[in-house]
Amino acid sequence: MIDVGLPRVAAARITVVGLALTQRMIALVGAGISATIVIDVQVSRGLVETLPLIVAPYVGIGMLALLLIWRSTVLTATVFLIGGAVLSVAVPVIGLAADPGFADSGPYLINRVATAICLVGAVGGSAVSGLLWSAVGFVVAQSSVMVGLALAGSTIGSGSGPLIVFSISAVAYLTLAFAQRQTARRLEPLRAAEREVRDLDGRRELERRAAGVVHDTVLADLTAIARSPGTLSDHARTVLSGHLRVVDAASVGDTPASSSAGSALGDAVLGLVRDYQWSGVRIDVSGVDSLHGRVSAPVRHAVMGAVRAALDNVVQHASTDRAEIVVGERTGQVTVLVVDDGVGFDPAEIADDRLGVRASITDRIAQVGGTVRVWSGPDGTTVMMTVPLSEAER
Written as one string, the DSSP assignment of 23-76 is HHHHHHHHHHHHHHHHHHHHHHTT--TTHHHHHHHHHHHHHHHHHHHH---HHH
In whole angstroms, give the CA distance from residue 58 to residue 93: 14
Residues 6+ apart with CB under 8 A from 345: 317, 376, 381
pLDDT at position 267 is 85
Residue pair 107/156 in contact (Cβ under 8 Å)? The answer is yes
- pLDDT on residue 162: 92
Report pLDDT for 92. 92
DSSP line for 157-177: ---SHHHHHHHHHHHHHHHHH
Q: What pLDDT score does 143 carry?
A: 94
> Quick one: which H or E segment has residue 209?
helix 161-214
Report pLDDT for 380.
85
The pLDDT assigned to 392 comes to 39
* Residues pairing with 385 in the sheet: 336, 372
CA distances from 338 to 15, 252, 357 (A): 38, 15, 13
Which segments of the chain have a pLDDT < 50?
1-6, 251-262, 353-355, 391-394
**Contact between 69 and 24 (Cβ < 8 Å):** yes
pLDDT of residue 6: 43
The structure's pTM equals: 0.49
Is residue 312 within 8 Å of 336, Cβ to Cβ? no
pLDDT at 363: 84
Q: What is residue 353's predicted lDDT score, i.e. its pLDDT?
A: 46
**In the prediction, which pLDDT does 27 show?**
94
Residue-wise pLDDT for 69-84, tens only, equals 999 899 999 999 999 9
| The one-letter amino acid at 214 | V
User: Residue 281: what pLDDT?
Assistant: 84
According to DSSP, the residues that pair with 336 across neighbouring strands are: 327, 385
